[in-house]
Chain A
Amino acid sequence: MIFLFSVALKLFLDGMHRIFKLKFYTSFPSRFPEEAGILSAWVGTLYVMVGAIFWAILLGVPAGIYLEEFGGKGKLARIIEANITNLSAVPSIVYGLLALGIFVYRLNFGESILTAGLTLGLLMLPVIVVATRESLRRIPRAIREASYALGSTHYELVFHHLLPYSIGGILTGVIIATSRAIGETAPLLTIGALTFIAFLPPAPWKDLIGMLKSPFTVLPIQMFNWVSRPQEAFHQNAAAAGFVLLVLCLVLNSLSYYLRYKVRRKYYW
C-alpha cells in the first residue's frame, strides 16, 4: 500500500504541470512537449474498450452460462473448462502475437481499432467466464426447478430468471476485466498501434466501418512513447498520462466494489 501511494505521488508530482491543464486533454500529440496532449489517446482508448467489452460479453457470458448450467460434467464442458484456465495464464504479449499473426496478416483486419478490440476482448474472456459462473452458482437450485415446473424452456429460464439475478455479479466481473484491459499495452504494441496520431477516427454514427478500420493509439501506448524519450519534459507528459490511467482504474475498481455491495444486499435466498 505504501508502494501504491508512492507510485501515485511520484506520478502526481511529476505530472502536476499537465494534469490540471485542459489543453492536455484536448490536443493531439506533438513534437513539442508543452503542446502535446492525449486527445487521440483517450478517444482511442474509449473506442477500443467499447469493442473489447462487446466481444468479451458476447463470447464470455454465454460460455459461462453453458459451462455452469447445461454443460454438466460432460467431456466437452471439461475440455472447455481446462482450456479457459490455461488461457487465463497465457502472457498478454502472446495474445499480441496471435493478433499480429491471425487478425492483422491472415484475416487482413489491419492495424485497426477492430483488431485491438478483438484482442483485448479475448484477453478479458477468461475473467468474464469465471465471473459469470460464480454469480450463477450463487443462485439456489430451487429457482431453476420452480421455473422448469412451470413449463419454461431453457432460454426462458436464462433470460427471465438467471440473468436478472446474476447481472450484478457479471457486471462486476466485466468492470474488473475492463480495468485490467485498459492498462494493457503489450498486445497493442505488437499489433502496431501507432504512437503519433494527429487525427481522430471517424465518429461511429457517421462511418462505422471507417472507424473500425482506423489506426489508433491508446493511453498506455502514448505513455510508453513518452517515457522512452530522453527529454525530461516528455516524462512530465508521461506522468500525467499515467496519473489519468491510474485514476481511471481506481474509479472502475471502486465501481465494481460498490456494485458487489449493492448486489449482496438486493437478493436474499
Chain B
Amino acid sequence: MKVETKKKLDIVFKAFLIITSLSSILVTFAIVLALIEDTIRFFVHPEGGGFPTSLFRFFTETEWTPTFVTKKIGIWPLLAGTFLIASIAMIVSIPLGLIIAVYLSEFASWRVREAIKPWLDFLEAVPTVVYGYFALLAVTPLLQWIFRFFGIEMEGMNALSPGIVLGIMILPFTASMVEDSIRGVPQYLREASYALGASKLRTAFEVVVPAAKSGILASYLLGISRALGETMVVAIAAGMYPNLTINPLEPVQTITGYIVQVALGDLPFLSFEYLSIFAAGFMLFLITLFFNQLAVYFKSKIERY
C-alpha cells in the first residue's frame, strides 16, 4: 500500500472513531428530547387543563388517574410509592452493605474474598423479573405468615416485600462500591489505631469507616437512584394502585410501575395516557439525575491521604 492511501485510510478510520463516540451524546440528546417534548405536550394537552393549570394540578392534586374518565394528575401518589419502596430498600441495604463491605475488606482472607466476589457479581446479573417472582410468591407469603402472629392481615400486594427484595437486589452493587472506598483508606491509619490498642472491630468501624465516609455516601446515593429506577420487582409485587400512603403494608404504585401498567395496554400515539408516561418518566429521570449528581459531588470530595 502506498503511503498516501494509508494516510487517507487513517483519516477515515479516525473519523469513524469520532463519529461512533459522538453517538453516545446523540443518545443522551435523544433521551432528553423525547422526554421533554412529550412532557410539554402532556402539560398543554386539553385533557390536563392546558398549560398553567395542568402544571398546578400536577403538584397539588392528591390522586393520579390519567387513565380514568375523570382525570386527576397529581404526581404525589406515585412519588410517595416510589420513595416509600426506595426507603425500605435502603433500610435493608445500608446496614447489610456496610457489614458485608467491612467484612470483605478488613476481615476476610484473600481466599474467602476471591471465592465470594464472583457470587456477588452473579447476584448483580440475576434478571430483575426473577426477583419480582420471588418477592410476590415467596417473600410476601412469608411476611403474611409472620404478620398473622401479630394479628395483622397483609394484602397480597404491598410495598414491604418488594422493598426488602429490592434492598437485597442492590446489595451486591452497593457492597462492592463501599468496599472499594474502604480499601482506599491508607494502611497507616489502621496501624495507628492498632498502635493505640484498638481492637480490629473497633478500628474498622471507628477509624476506617469514618475515613471513607464520602465514598460510602456516594455509593449509597447511587444505590438509591438504582432503587428508584428499578421496575420489574415493583411492577410485579407492589400492586397497581396509586396510593398516597406511607403504610408499607398497603399496595402502592411507583413511577416505573405506572409506566409498565400503561405500556402493557394499547397506546395510541400522542394520546393523553401515552403522554402521561413521558411526564412521569421525566420526573423519574430528573430525580435519578439529582441523586447521581449528588453522588458525583461526594465522590469528588473523597479525602486524599
Contacts and interface: CB of A to CB of B under 8 A. Distances in A.
Interface of A: 1, 3-4, 6-7, 10-11, 14, 58-59, 62-63, 65-67, 70-71, 76-77, 79-80, 83-87, 89-98, 100-102, 105-106, 122, 125-126, 129, 153-156, 158, 176, 179-180, 182-186, 189-192, 220, 223-224, 227-228, 235, 238-239, 242, 245-246, 249-250, 252-253, 257
A91 B24 contact: no
B70 interface: no
Nearest to B281: A97
B138 interface: yes
A220 B281 contact: no
B168 interface: yes
Given A6-B138, A101-B278, A153-B13, 8 more contacts: A183-B127, A183-B128, A183-B130, A223-B129, A223-B130, A242-B133, A246-B130, A253-B125
Nearest to A104: B269
30 contacts: A1-B119, A4-B122, A7-B126, A11-B130, A70-B17, A86-B289, A89-B292, A91-B225, A91-B226, A93-B281, A94-B31, A94-B284, A97-B278, A100-B263, A101-B38, A102-B33, A154-B10, A155-B13, A180-B124, A186-B256, A189-B231, A190-B263, A190-B277, A227-B129, A235-B133, A246-B130, A250-B122, A252-B125, A253-B121, A253-B122
B203 to A, nearest CB: 26
Given A86-B292, A91-B288, A95-B31, A224 B134 contact: no
B222 A227 contact: no
A66 B128 contact: no
Contacts of A156: 6
Interface in B116-170: 116, 118-119, 121-134, 136-138, 168
A-B CB proximity, top 4 nearest:
A91-B229, A183-B127, A101-B34, A186-B231
Contacts of B288: 89-91, 94
Interface of B: 6-7, 9-10, 13-14, 16-18, 20-25, 27-28, 30-31, 33-35, 37-38, 116, 118-119, 121-134, 136-138, 168, 222, 225-226, 228-232, 235-236, 256, 259-260, 263-264, 267, 269, 277-278, 281, 284-285, 288-289, 292, 296
Contacts of A4: 119, 122-123, 126
Contact of B168 (A3, A58, A62, A63): A3
Contacts of B21: 62-63, 66-67, 71, 77, 80
A71 B1 CA distance: 27
A105 B267 CA distance: 11
A84 B24 contact: yes
